[in-house]
Structure 1
Amino acid sequence: MSSGGTNRALRWTWVITLLMVLALMANVTYVQGFEAQSLRDDPQNTRQYSNRDAIARGPIVAGGERIAWSDAVAKNKYQRRYKDSETFSPITGYFSMFSQTQLESSENHVLDGSDPRLKTTSLMDRILGRKVPGGTVETTINPRAQRAAYQALAGSGGRRAAAVALDPRTGAILVMASYPSYDANQVAVPNAKQAQAAFDRLNKDASKPLLSKATGEVFPPGSTFKTVVASSAMAAGTTKDTSVPAGRSYKPRGAGQPINNDAGDIGGECDNASIPLITAYAQSCNTTFAYMGAERPGNGGVSDQAARFGFYKKIEYDKGLSSAVSSFPKTGQPSLSALGSIGQGSTIATPLQMAMVAAAVVNDGKVMRPYLVARLRGADGTVVQGATRQSLGQALNADQAGQMRDLMREVVKSGTGKSLQGSSVGGGKTGTADIEGVSYNDRWFIGFGPGSSARYAVAVMTEAPGYGIESGPIAAKIIDALGG
């Protein structure tokens, strides 16, 4: 080969080598600068759980009050602390040596300072991984109302209980309480053996205290679901004054036995062959709503309306935090549809979902996505993200929603919720779901207040002997604490 050919070969070799080095540097830069966080978060990366106590995480705040923060316990060692944790754990979750939940999980990178919005956009900063102080997560929770809710749930005598309060016009979650709860301080300890023992105790508890009853579990909603059924009738053209079928019993096609009204309704207005919808709702006539689910508007009408309120899908209330799925049976069997339409059978819902139903009625039929974070701040106080308000759709038009509010007011005026007269509850719906083979019921109340202003929407569920109205005073206490 000539010297010229050799030189050309050498030049090409150098060019190819240089290109390969540049490609390698670009790949390393991309991985370190842009994919580092996703690689750290990969569930298969066990290194993310090492030296977790070396980070001074930022605080989680409710109403200006720190409900989670980090204390220095040694040089470069920190321990997570939680205030009134049994009250606030459905919001904060926990940060342990092994895992994190709720806001400690969804806002992990803001709290530990690794969120890129908390640092400069300098490529060199990102490559070198320069440490930035943890940011602050400001929640939408009203701490006074959250405490009132938890205390009332714990004192209800219920084996399980939950409460949710929303700002109907924005979707802000003001209360999200669950009972029984847990103390996150017990699992946030730096001693692995001690933390594991605490987890073992909690996981063995049949009541599942680590699982939020407000968002993570579903229950038969009883007659509160009649709010969805009445709304489906409104969407099909019925008004609050339209006469609808009632009667002491109703046997849907294909049913082995009829659906009856509650024994306490015998001799009352539910016995009549037909009554105005507002009366059937206020008196909670099972026969009326069973008929609606089985015949008119029928299963399709009720299931479509349930979907408009948010049923059949997870409700995301912060990035990566979603509720369990609420459901009404889609079926061609009238008997199953009838039973589901009185909130029994296969119909299930989270307290968050039922609060959304009440909130949409208050908000002229518009369903707002619930959210838990008001704003995120850097350590210097700079707001890096505000609340994102999002409409999930229109369940009813304004006129129909106004008529539904009248139905709910009538419940307190003359119906199953009349013992709440004089309280801050302006309207609502009781619900009692019978649980077969046990001595307790799921006792529900959904409503709004204070009074006619309807600034807040509330859902309460307590699991104990008795009826749904027994959860009504808890709703009143929550509205009072919110400033009703």
Structure 2
Amino acid sequence: MSSGSTNKALRWTWVITLVMVLALLVNITYVQGFQAQSLRDDPLNTRQFADRDAIARGPIVAGGERIAWSDAVAKNRYQRRYKDSEVFSPVTGYFSKFSQTQLESSENHILDGTDARLKTTSLVDRILGRKVPGGTVETTVDPAAQRAAYQALAGSGARRAAAVALDPRTGAILTLASYPSYDANQVSGPDAEQAQRVFERLNKNPLKPLLSKATGELFPPGSTFKTVVAAAGLAGGATKDSAVRAGRSYRPRGAGQAINNDAGDIGGACDNASIPLITAYAQSCNTTFAFMGAEQPGNSGVADQAARFGFAKKIEYDRGLSSAVSSFPRTDQPSLSALGSIGQGSTVATPLQMAVVAAAVVNDGKVMRPHLVNRLRGADGSVVQSAAHESMGQALSADQAAQLRDMMGEVVRSGTGKSLQGTSVGGGKTGTADIEGVSYNDRWFIGFGPGANPRYAVAVMTEAPGYGIESGPIAAKIIDALGG
């Protein structure tokens, strides 16, 4: 081979080598600069769980109070701390050697400083791996109301319980309480074996204290679901004064047995063949709402109305944080639709979902997406992101919502919630869901307050013997704590 051919081959070898080196550098730059976060979060990447205590995570704050923060315990070693953790764990979640939940998970990259929005010289910082201090997560939660809610739930004698309070006009979650709860300090310590033992104990508990009862568990909503059915009637052209079917008993087509009113209703308005809708709602006549679900407006009318309130899909209340899916059965069997329309059978809901229903009634029928974060800040105090007040749709017209507020007010004036007269509760709906084969019921109250000019919507569920009205005073305590 001639020397010219040899030089030409060498030149091409150098060109190809240079191109490959440049391609490698570009790939490394892309991976380090733009894919680092997704690679860190990949579930197959076990290195994300190494040296988790080497990070000084930023604080989670409620009403100016730090409810989660990191303390230095040794050189380059930090421990996560939680204030009143049993009260606030449905909000903060935990950050452990193995995993994280709730805001510790959804806002993980703000807290640990790896969120790209916290970087000042983004590309250079990413390539060089410069550490950016963790930011602050400011929640929407009112700490006084959260404490009042948890203390009331814990003192109610309930085996499981939850309470949610919302700002109806913005969707801000003001209270997100769950019982039984857990202490996140016990699972966030540096001793992995001890934390694992705590996890095992909590996971063996049949009441599932690690799972938020407010967002993660489903319960039959009982007669509080009649609010959705009443809304379906109004949307279909009825008014609060429209005459509706009542009577002591109603047997849907195809049903093996009749649906009856509560024994305590015998001799009352529910016995009459026809009464105004507002009276049927205030007195919680099962026969009225079973008939509405089975015949008029029927299954599709109720199911469509439930969907407008947020049923049949997850409700996302922070990035990656969603509620369990509340549901009402779409069915061609009138008996199943009738049972579901009184909040039994296949109808289930989270307390968050039922708070959304009450909030939409207050907010002239507009459904606002619940959110748990008010602001995200960098370590220097700069605002990275503020809450967006996002509508989920219009469940009712303003006039229909006003009529439903009147109906909820009548519950307190003359109906099943009249023992709440004189409290901060301006209106609401009681609900008692019978649980077959056990001695307790799911006792519900949804409502609003304070008084006739409500600023808050509340849902409370307590699981214990008795009736839904027994959850009403808890709602009043929450409204009071919110400044009712």
TM class, shorter-length: over 0.9
Counterparts in 2 of 1:66-465, with a 5 A limit? 66-465=66-465
Q: Post-superposition shift, 1:122?
A: 3.7
Q: Post-superposition shift, 1:364?
A: 0.5
**CA distance in 2 between partners of 1:175 and 1:325 (Å):** 20
Q: Post-superposition shift, 1:5?
A: 4.3
Q: Secondary structure at the match of 1:430?
A: strand
Structure 2 segments unaligned to the other structure (5+ residues): none
The AA in structure 1 aligned to 2:392 is: L
CA contact (8 A) 2:116 2:122 kept: no
Q: Secondary structure at the match of 2:332?
A: coil
> For residue 48 of structure 1, what is the aligned residue in structure 2?
48
* Cα shift readout 1:420-450 (whole Å, capped 9, x = no counterpart): 0010000000000000000000000000000
**CA distance in 2 between partners of 1:211 and 1:66 (Å):** 22
* Cα shift readout 1:74-131 (whole Å, capped 9, x = no counterpart): 1111100000000000000000001100000000111111111111234221111101
The AA in structure 2 aligned to 1:199 is: F
Q: Post-superposition shift, 1:12?
A: 2.7
The AA in structure 1 aligned to 2:454 is: A
**CA distance in 2 between partners of 1:235 and 1:253 (Å):** 24
**CA distance in 1 between partners of 2:122 and 2:478 (Å):** 47
- Scaled by the length of structure 1, the TM-score of the pair is 0.99
Greater mean deviation of Cα atoms: 165-174 or 13-22: 13-22
Q: Secondary structure at the match of 2:452?
A: helix
Q: Post-superposition shift, 1:325?
A: 0.4
Q: Post-superposition shift, 1:385?
A: 0.5
**CA distance in 2 between partners of 1:438 and 1:432 (Å):** 14
Cα RMSD of the aligned pairs, angstroms, is 0.8
Q: Identity over aligned residues, as a percent?
A: 84
1:29 aligns with 2:29: yes
**CA distance in 1 between partners of 2:216 and 2:21 (Å):** 51
The AA in structure 2 aligned to 1:234 is: L
Q: Post-superposition shift, 1:389?
A: 1.4
The AA in structure 1 aligned to 2:271 is: D
The AA in structure 1 aligned to 2:460 is: V
Q: Secondary structure at the match of 2:307?
A: helix
The AA in structure 1 aligned to 2:71 is: D
**CA distance in 2 between partners of 1:314 and 1:462 (Å):** 23
Structure 1 segments unaligned to the other structure (5+ residues): none
- Scaled by the length of structure 2, the TM-score of the pair is 0.99
Counterparts in 2 of 1:467-478, with a 5 A limit? 467-478=467-478
**CA distance in 2 between partners of 1:125 and 1:471 (Å):** 53
Residues 1:122 and 1:357: Cα distance change in structure 2 (over 3 Å): closer
**CA distance in 1 between partners of 2:166 and 2:15 (Å):** 64
Greater mean deviation of Cα atoms: 384-393 or 115-124: 115-124
**CA distance in 2 between partners of 1:204 and 1:20 (Å):** 55
Q: Post-superposition shift, 1:6?
A: 4.0
Q: Secondary structure at the match of 1:227?
A: helix
**CA distance in 2 between partners of 1:122 and 1:52 (Å):** 23
Q: Post-superposition shift, 1:335?
A: 0.1
User: How many positions carry a matched residue from both structures?
Assistant: 484
* Cα shift readout 1:442-482 (whole Å, capped 9, x = no counterpart): 00000000001110000000000000000000000000000
> For residue 13 of structure 2, what is the aligned residue in structure 1?
13
**CA distance in 2 between partners of 1:138 and 1:460 (Å):** 25
> For residue 62 of structure 1, what is the aligned residue in structure 2?
62
The AA in structure 1 aligned to 2:200 is: D
